[in-house]
Chains A and B, each alone.
Chain A
Amino acid sequence: MALRLTQRLLQTQTPFLTRGYPLLVTKEKTEDVAHTKSALQKKVTGTDIPSAQYGGRHAVTMLPGGGIGPELMGYVREIFRYCGAPIDFEVIDIDPSTEGNDDLDYAITSIKRNGVALKGNIETKSQSLTEVSRNVAIRNELDLYVNVVHCKSYPGIPARHHDIDVVLIRQNTDGEYAMLEHESVPGIVESMKVVTVENAERVARYAFEFARQNNRKKVTTIHKANIMKLSDGLFLEVANRVHKDYPELEHNNMIIDNTCMQSVSNPHQFDVMNMTNLYGTIVSNVLCGLMGGAGLISGRNYGDHYAIFEPGTRNTGTAIAGKNIANPVAMISASIDMLNHLGHKEHANVIQEAVYQTIVNDAIRTPDIGGTNSSTDVVENILKILSAKRVNWPHGNYFSQI
């Protein structure tokens, strides 16, 4: 059984990068899938690339993606220009219709050398079986093993529940997204779900550490271990074991179907949630929907070396592309997360306050959250607020003011 599993893993490898990087990035050609390498091995083989910060300005990769991505990215650049954020974007377009991975390879290389990226969702329009999801390819190649979505209500937005404040911490690189599918016999398709101790522990430890550092009280692990006793059971067992290192935090577990019901009936019971890949995408969409839809919440993807910031529900929004009704808050929130990540808290706070004032106090909202304004109305109001609070250059004594 183990031998057959190994053979199957080797046969289904589809390398995302075909070039060698012998010194900067050690690439082992027979082990492309992130979970087949131990965490220690990843750390040892990755040589540090010099940081992309020059004179206080950061180089950042920008992947607009498809659908509403390009127009939202335009708003982000305009906002950064207005508030004086010291970020230089390297924009890389990936055409969803093309075959082959040249653009994808270049995008991954760019993120590796810049370390940080702002990303819209990239469609995979090709029906060819050799084409993998480009979003998943990026996350696997860069080993972004954790996705953080902070679902926090905005006051005044019509919603059935108010004052929700839940953090979802989700695996990014394991589970059903391992991209291992094949048709063993005509008419019979097998899709393999992979759970490993190393990756489960990394994400669980991140969840507990996040809860500790942000003064959260409880971590809930979401699973379906009553049915998948070995795979989800392993995930749950690892979470229980990690909890022993954090005795001051409460830890419980919940089955995914019950979680969805509890999320829509009483979402306030959740504090920090820890879950595998597929459940993460389900629950994050449920909670974002409770708060007003795909246009409000941002998501963060972290690995040991790289970070990617994107809207929380990872939707392309193709149906509303070009109509000037897309909610820009999710992408703007992602850019705020990026500024915080890079240490530009002054600019991040200024933009955050402008967004909050626009959505809550001035009540300028797009139709998806019950308003009548256009995307540009929202952005223009943010820019108007920013023009009075512009930070040309970070003040040297900013942190002493806190």
Chain B
Amino acid sequence: MSMLARTVGRTFMQAAAARSLHTTSTLRATDNYGANRTTCTLIPGDGVGPELVYSLQEVFKAASVPVDFECYFLSEINPVLSAKLEDVVASIQKNKVCIKGVLATPDYSNVGDLQTLNMKLRNDLDLYANVVHVRSLPGVKTRHTNIDTVIIREQTEGEYSALEHESVPGIVECLKIITAKKSMRIAKFAFDYATKNQRKKVTAVHKANIMKLGDGLFLRSCEEVSRLYPRIQFEKMIVDNTTMQMVSNPNQFDVMVTPNLYGAIVDNLASGLVGGAGVVAGASYSSESVVFEPGARHTFAEAVGKNVANPTAMLLCGVKLLRHINLPTYGEIIQNAINKVLNDGKVRTKDLGGQSTTQDFTRAIILNMS
């Protein structure tokens, strides 16, 4: 009897999905979209990345989004199956847009290489700006509400320069590189982002009281660039105070610009405030290309195959992608569906306090698209 009930329920759900598909196809035909299609590079990544990417593809298919994916399996923990980095870089340079799952980073290197695959990808494409938009989502219960902060992080220098060596046995030196050129570039990115999105304030996060030369150069570069933007307020804050202010009064931050390591810290801290790694989307920019990926960058490897990961972050990446390639209407449809599902609260993944599976959540999104 219960078997029969489950079968009937599944049939109804499929019928509803089919109706939804038919409806959206009709809408798309009258809109006269789809005259041309955009190719996007797709890197599923490690851990639950492939499952989340599958959710995204399902949603795009249901919405008849005119985007074709060019899929490459890139992995550092599975180098035998991995595609060549050169091929992936060439694909991203050609398409200029990419959606990427999180690549796992091992604690040690098998071949003695200090640079991780993530770092190589960023350096080859010069993806210098990482933008994480941390925003309170409807229906997600958190201690703070109305958080709406953008964290812009420099991604190609600083502590991630991969310049480490053991000068004497037992003494290791790690070189942190700060350049005026790249500091000014990321500062200008932050202020241009603030200008474009009608933000009022940019906060530079630093530790220039201790690292007076390195972080001091970063801070001076930000100050110089701020003079070109007289209508945007500029603030400085030491990174330890930033983390305290972030957990006690996060609403004071509007746009933040940081060097590499502090950006990683503040990204993850802010993600935790609004619901965790599963609900925050990010993007990495170079001048010519953009790579969309979850903001907090966790592979969630312990959940592989269990169908419990939250696909919201990856779906929000898809929404950002659609806005970037001039398809805001589709982005709006998917964003509204996400808001509806989260607001209802009936279908929630485990990280948001519910019991639903990844596929349940994806199906709910598809059913709520209109």
Contact = CB atoms under 8 A, between A and B. Distances in A.
Interface of A: 19, 21-24, 49-57, 59, 81, 84-86, 88, 90, 105-106, 109, 112-113, 387-397
Q: Which one of A49, A53, A393 has the highest number of Cβ atoms from chain B below 10 Å of its Cβ?
A: A393
A397 B94 contact: yes
Contacts of B327: 392
Interface of B: 32-33, 35-39, 66, 93-97, 129, 181, 184-185, 188-189, 191-193, 195-196, 224-225, 227-231, 283, 285-290, 324-327
Contacts of A393: 38, 96-97, 325-326
Contacts of B94: 396-397
A109 B228 contact: yes
Given A55-B324, A59-B192, A392-B36, 4 more contacts: A55-B97, A109-B230, A113-B191, A396-B39
Contact of B325 (A88, A90, A392): A392
Contacts of B325: 84, 392-393
28 contacts: A19-B227, A24-B184, A49-B188, A50-B181, A52-B188, A53-B287, A54-B193, A54-B287, A55-B283, A55-B287, A55-B290, A56-B97, A56-B290, A86-B326, A90-B196, A106-B230, A106-B231, A112-B228, A113-B188, A113-B228, A387-B32, A387-B35, A388-B32, A390-B33, A390-B36, A392-B37, A392-B326, A396-B94
A113 B231 CA distance: 14
A21 to B, nearest CB: 6
Given A56-B96, A389-B35, A390-B36, A21 B188 contact: no
A55 to B, nearest CB: 3
B36 A53 contact: no
Given A109-B230, A391-B36, A55 B224 contact: no
Chain A CB count within 10 A is highest, among B38, B66, B228, for B228
A24 B96 contact: no
Contacts of A52: 188, 192
B203 to A, nearest CB: 19
Given A54-B287, A55-B288, A86-B326, A394 B228 contact: no
A393 B68 CA distance: 12
B184 A59 contact: no
B95 A396 contact: yes
A306 B224 CA distance: 20
Given A52-B188, A388-B35, A393-B325, A24 B227 contact: yes
Contacts of A391: 36
Contacts of B287: 51, 53-56
A396 B68 CA distance: 13
Contacts of B285: 54-55
Across the A-B interface, the 3 shortest Cβ-Cβ residue pairs:
A55-B290, A396-B94, A84-B326
A206 to B, nearest CB: 27
B66 A392 contact: yes
Contacts of A88: 196
Nearest to A88: B196
Nearest to B180: A23
A51 B287 CA distance: 8
Contact of B184 (A50, A86, A397): A50
A387 B32 CA distance: 7
A105 B288 CA distance: 30
Given A54-B189, A390-B36, A392-B38, A59 B97 contact: no
Nearest to A386: B35
Contacts of B184: 24, 50
Nearest to B287: A53
Contacts of A81: 326
Contacts of B33: 390
A51 B288 CA distance: 11
A393 B322 CA distance: 10
Contact of B288 (A23, A53, A113): A53
A87 to B, nearest CB: 10
Nearest to A51: B287
Given A56-B290, A387-B32, A50 B185 contact: yes
A88 B184 CA distance: 21
Nearest to B182: A50
B96 A394 contact: yes
**Which residue, B95, B192, B288, has most C-beta atoms of chain A within 10 A?**
B192
Nearest to B66: A392
B95 A49 contact: no
A393 B94 CA distance: 12
Contacts of A54: 129, 189, 192-193, 285, 287, 290
Contact of B225 (A19, A24, A105, A106): A24
Nearest to A391: B36
A105 to B, nearest CB: 8
B224 A23 contact: yes
Contacts of B66: 392
A23 B221 CA distance: 9
B326 A55 contact: no
Contact of B96 (A55, A106, A387, A390): A55
A387 B129 CA distance: 33
Contacts of B37: 392
B200 to A, nearest CB: 15
A59 B192 CA distance: 8
B84 to A, nearest CB: 18
A216 B367 CA distance: 61
A388 B32 CA distance: 8
Contacts of A23: 224
Nearest to A343: B288
A51 B126 CA distance: 14
Nearest to B93: A396
A54 B185 CA distance: 11
B139 to A, nearest CB: 30
The residue in B181, B325, B327 that gathers the most chain A C-beta atoms within 10 A of its C-beta is: B325
A200 to B, nearest CB: 32
A59 to B, nearest CB: 5
A105 B231 CA distance: 12
A285 B54 CA distance: 60
A113 B95 CA distance: 27
Nearest to A85: B326
A90 B195 contact: yes
Contacts of A50: 181, 184-185, 188-189
Output the residue of A19, A21, A50 with the most chain B CB within 10 A. Answer: A50
Nearest to A23: B224
B283 A113 contact: no
Contacts of B288: 53, 55-56
